[in-house]
Amino acid sequence: MGVGIQVDKLNAWFGKTQALYDINMTVAANHATAVIGPSGCGKSTFVRCLNRMHETVPEARATGRVRIGEMDVYNGTSAVQIRRRIGMVFQKANPFPTMSIYDNVAAGLTLNGFHDRKRLDEIVERSLALSALWDEVKDTMRKKSGASLSGGQQQRLCIARAIAVEPQVLLMDEPCSALDPISTGKIEELIFQLKEKFTIVIVTHNMQQASRVAEFTGFFLLGKLIEFDKTEKIFTTPSDKRTEDYITGRFG
């Protein structure tokens, strides 16, 4: 099951440049939360702070408190432990090109020393089924490379790989920006179903997508969280003029 995320006074920097300012947010468990805002507003930095990917950038740092369920992300927990609990899907699908589809999905487990073949088979099947990819690859998954799939299939493969290790949270950084409308529709349908098992935070430039998949939406601008509310409120009657100007295309 997914867990909630509590963010308190999160600040982030790239060297001397501050990218996030005092972000406070409560992400509900087993819901999808969208993060929107213009380019450079800090939305990707925000999600990368949730699983400590931010600190992998040279001279990048973050302060504040992030709790994923009972786990304190920035206090007493290793980055590896955190990333086992938090899966991530990126803008560009990045399957391991030399591995088969099956091995791609199993990679997270086998790299951690899990080699029970029967159990692996079960997990791979379940992950591919949850990613709505099983029917399309079940006959070829051991022979074909992950890179042989279409863009939309590769993205679903990446989702299968992320959920195979049974994370509690799934972070998605513009997962559909390189996909056609059919593949986008499949991923969005998937997000809707994955909410039952995981907490989802999705960064998107596509406001229609945010309104379709997320129950909650946060609007970022210049590193600040301007407004966070139920998605229907944000897209019909936002409280802040800056949110309204952005979602109606008057700036950005």
Partner 1 sequence: MARTRFLQGLDELRARLLRMGGLAEQAVDRACQAYIERDLTRCRMVLDGETQINLTEREIDEMAFDLLAMQQPMAVDLRFILAVTKINADLERVGDQAVNIAERVMDMVDLPKADLPVDIPRMAAAVSAMVRRALESFIEGKAELAQAVLEMDNVVDRMKDEAFIVLVKSMNDHPETTRQALDALLVARNLERVADHATNIAEDVIFWVRGADVRHNVAPEQPEHQEVTDPH
Q: In angstroms, give the least distance from the CB of 236 to partner 1.
A: 6
The answer to whether the beta carbons of residues 170 and 3 sit under 8 Å apart is: no
Identity of the residue, 152 or 238, whose beta carbon is nearer to partner 1 in the bound complex = 238
Q: Is the dihedral of CA 67, 71, 73, 79 positive or negative?
A: negative
Q: Distance from first CA to last CA of the chain, Å, rounded?
A: 36
Q: Count the site residues for partner 1 by CB under 8 A.
A: 19
Which of 26, 63, 98, 239 is close enough to bind partner 1 by CB under 8 A? 239
Q: In angstroms, give the least distance from the CB of 60 to partner 1.
A: 28
Candidates 72-80, 151-159, 193-201, 232-240: pick the segment binding partner 1 (CB under 8 A). Answer: 232-240
Answer yes or no whether residue 235 interacts with partner 1 by CB under 8 A.
yes
Alpha-carbon distance of 61 to 130, in angstroms, equals 35
Q: In angstroms, give the least distance from the CB of 220 to partner 1.
A: 16
Answer yes or no whether residue 244 interacts with partner 1 by CB under 8 A.
yes
Site for partner 1 in 32-51 (CB under 8 A): 38
Burial environment of residue 145 by CB neighbours within 10 A (0 to 12, 13 to 18, 19 or more):
middle
Alpha-carbon distance of 166 to 123, in angstroms, equals 9
Q: In angstroms, give the least distance from the CB of 206 to partner 1.
A: 10
Which of 170, 207, 214, 221 is close enough to bind partner 1 by CB under 8 A? 207
SS3 10: strand
The answer to whether the beta carbons of residues 209 and 176 sit under 8 Å apart is: yes
Q: Is the dihedral of CA 130, 190, 194, 52 positive or negative?
A: positive
The answer to whether the beta carbons of residues 183 and 151 sit under 8 Å apart is: yes
Candidates 60-68, 80-88, 154-162, 231-239: pick the segment binding partner 1 (CB under 8 A). Answer: 231-239
Answer yes or no whether residue 215 interacts with partner 1 by CB under 8 A.
no
SS3 156: helix
Identity of the residue, 2 or 238, whose beta carbon is nearer to partner 1 in the bound complex = 238
Which of 24, 81, 193, 236 is close enough to bind partner 1 by CB under 8 A? 236
**Contacting positions for partner 1 (CB under 8 A):** 38, 207-208, 211, 233, 235-239, 241, 243-244, 247-252
